[in-house]
Structure 1
């Protein structure tokens, strides 16, 4: 299966999601896209993901606050 075919399947499944199809762009968003251009939007999205969402090393991994259940059982 090619990358394009995988994306086509993914977007078909997403398009059938009642939850995801309930979101719509507002006029302000449409105007922003028109002003900046889709290529700029894509660049910003890629930059956002690279900097904020795709960390290979999570600095605080394993240091999350335990749930009440976990903190009770450790006493």
Structure 2
């Protein structure tokens, strides 16, 4: 998947996806002479599953979750 594809799937920006790649949170590979990024669907699904796990664990610890998105 391209960065654009992943951004659409996660309903976030391409710059946020690039930040996830740069931090190592979302594994990706760079291909070709132009250095285009590709993310394997299985890696994206692992990232999403891990996010649900982290959220569940945070809730169990009593971490207060906030929604910073405008409704």
* More contact order relative to length (CA 8 Å, sep ≥ 6): 2
More strand by share: 2
Confirm or deny a common fold (TM above 0.5): no
Higher share in helix: 1
Larger Rg: 1
TM-score by length of 2: 0.32
